Each structure stands twice: as structure tokens, then as C-alpha cells.
Structure 1
Amino acid sequence: MSPAGATNLARAASLGRAVVITASDRAAAGVYANRSGPLAVEGLQAMGFEAEVVVVPDGEQVGTQIRSAVDSGAVVVLTTGGTGLGPRDLTPEVTAPLLTRELPHLADWIARRGLEQGVATAVLSRGLAGMVDGCIVVNLPGSVGGVRDALWVLDQVLPHAVAQAAGGDH
């Protein structure tokens, strides 16, 4: 096994459980397939997390699922969708009251990454990032491209952030 393969196995054994919550009325109703949630799961697994996806309609159920994931021991919760300007895009509104600490620069970096990739509408995403108790929670856009950009950012910092949240050294 290559050293990189050994590192990935060590990461997988130590990083913990992650939950991806896709907020989409249409995906929850089966109108179309959830593509962003599975992509986020793949990205988290590549970082070394055990990950699963839950699909719920936009709105209050997102907050309920975040709280449930935190209470069940998740160390990371990513949401996809519900961060735009539509009337049912309420993911930031249901996330904000749960946050015990904010990570505004993480959300900023995710938006900036989209801009760097030539996606001007990345500035319209209202996603938040922070902690709910000891769990890292990040709102991602619902688009596959937005999730891909966010995963690039998260890969740079998420394993370190999780270790710090658990009491690890800087």
C-alpha cells in the first residue's frame, strides 16, 4: 500500500461521521435525482469521513435534521441547497439559530472559490458556516459546481477544524 493510501485509511478511521442534508422540495418529492448530496458524500469520504445523505424539503426540516445529526454524534454536517434567493431558500435562516460559534471566513472562502472558477452568481449564495456544539456545520449551494468548489475549500481545512473542535492542538 502506498503511503498516501495508508494515510487515507488512517484518516478514515479517525475523522468520524458526517451527514449531508440536501434541501430540495423537488428532490424530496422524487421529481429529480439529488446530485449534489451524493457528490458531497463522495468528497467527505475522500477526506476520511463516514458520510451519509438525507433529502428533505426546503425549510424548517433542514434545521430539524441538523439538530438530529448533531445529537446523534456527527462531527460534520453539510447542507446542500436552500442558500439562494428563492422564497423557499431558508437554509441559512434555520441554521443561524442553531450555531453556537460562527466561521464566517469559511463561508466567504467558499463563495470566493466559486468566483475564482468564473461563477459570478457565487456571490448570491447566503450559506453560513459555524459550529453547533462541537459539530462543524456548513451550508453549501445546491448546484453540483457549487458543491465541487466547496469541497475543494473544505479539503484544505475540514480535517484540521474537526480535530480542533475535538480539543486537538493548533
Structure 2
Amino acid sequence: MSTLDTSKEFIPVRIAILTVSDTREASDDRSGDVLAQRIESAGHVVAARHILRDERALIADQLRSWCNDAAIDVVISTGGTGLTGRDVTVEAHRDVYEKEIEAFGTVFTIVSMEKIGTSAVQSRATGGVAHGTYLFALPGSPGACKDAWDAILEKQLDYRHRPCNFVEIMPRLDEHHRRK
């Protein structure tokens, strides 16, 4: 079972939020707001925040830009993970990934099943790594963002979480790019 090792010091993570939507603006970006509030409440830093239209190339370019920014450790996108023709966030993420975290989508589906039953099959939430940066694509609903953060990301982005977490391996994510 997972635990929190309070003998270890908390390490804040710098997180960028990307809302993918053809209709959202800053004034009505409820999912982005949910993520920002939870990120800050957990003690992390919202390092950047942006809204983009559902355009695969634009999304991938923004992800790459943030992956190359030393001030960003994690990117969480919200929106565009469904099955419609305009839902291209997952494809954009996969255009950028060096490695996909397959279990992220599986665990998200399990969490979603508890809340929305078999409707969980309509989400293609995904996670991966590129250039030493974690990338996560969440559905565009505030509830899905709450579920993903509360059940998965809050724990995995806390260095004190045991038996393991994403933060403790962060320094080694891009070791294959370094000279030996």
C-alpha cells in the first residue's frame, strides 16, 4: 500500500497547464482552474498556462517548447482526449513522447470507472516523457481533472510518496541524452 514518508522533504515541481479547446477562454477555463488550484494547494508551482485550439501541430509545438524549457518539469493538458474528429491531443502528445507511460491511461480508466462506469472507455488519457519532462493528457471535464490529480498525479508528483514516485526518477529521465 502507498504511504507518505514525512521524514523526507517535500520538493515542489514546476507544472505547465495546457487547455486544448476550440471554445474556451481564460475566463471560462474551469478545468485549467481546477488543475491550477490543486497544483498550488499541493505546494507545487504553476510555471505556465496556455489555451490552444484543437490543432495537432500547434499542440505538439507547445509541448515541445515546454519540454525544452528548463523551468518546467511537468506538462498537464486538458481537453481533446475523446473520440471526435477534433480530438487530437493524444496524437499530439504521442508525436512528442520519447516514452509512453502506458499504465497512466490504465490507472486513469480504473479511477474513472468508479465515477462514471463504462463511460470511462471514451477517454484516451495518456502520459509520457520527453526531454526529461513528464507529459499528461487529461480529458477536458473538471471532474476528470479532479479525479486524475487526486487519485494519481498528486501522489506521483510528491517526492515523499512511497513505495515510488515520478519525482525521484526525474533527474534520470534524460540520462540517455547526456554524454557518457
Calculate the TM-score normalised by the size of structure 1.
0.84
Paired position in structure 1 for 2:109: 111
Q: Percent identity?
A: 28
Count of matched residue positions in the alignment of Structure 1 and Structure 2: 157
Distance 2:149 2:74 in 1: 13
Paired position in structure 2 for 1:70: 67
> After TM superposition, which residue ranges in structure 1, 4 or more long, deviate above 3 angstroms?
none
Distance 2:96 2:44 in 1: 23
Tell me, yes or no, if structure 1 residue 98 matches structure 2 residue 96: yes
Paired position in structure 2 for 1:3: none
Distance 1:113 1:54 in 2: 27
Paired position in structure 1 for 2:157: 158
Paired position in structure 2 for 1:27: 24
Which one scores higher on RCO, CA 8 angstroms, separation ≥ 6?
2
Cα deviation for residue 15 of structure 1 reads 2.4
Distance 1:98 1:49 in 2: 24
Q: Note the aligned Cα RMSD (angstroms).
A: 2.1
Paired position in structure 2 for 1:39: 34
Cα deviation for residue 149 of structure 1 reads 0.6
Distance 1:129 1:114 in 2: 16
Cα deviation for residue 119 of structure 1 reads 4.2
Unaligned runs of 5+ in 2: 1-5, 159-164, 174-180
Distance 1:146 1:89 in 2: 16
**How has the CA–CA distance of structure 1 residues 117 and 140 changed in structure 2, closer, same or farther, with 3 Å as cutoff?**
same
Q: Which amino acid aligns with 1:16?
A: V
Paired position in structure 2 for 1:84: 82
Distance 1:18 1:97 in 2: 20
Q: 1:56 aligns with which of 45, 52, 55?
A: 52
Q: Which amino acid aligns with 2:142?
A: V
- Which SS does the other structure have where 1:166 is aligned? helix
Contact conserved, 1:77 with 1:137, CA < 8 A, in 2? yes
Calculate the TM-score normalised by the size of structure 2.
0.79
> Bigger CA drift: 84-93 or 106-115?
106-115
Distance 2:31 2:74 in 1: 16
Contact conserved, 2:123 with 2:139, CA < 8 A, in 1? yes
Q: Which structure carries more helix by proportion?
A: 1
Paired position in structure 2 for 1:144: 142
Unaligned runs of 5+ in 1: 1-6
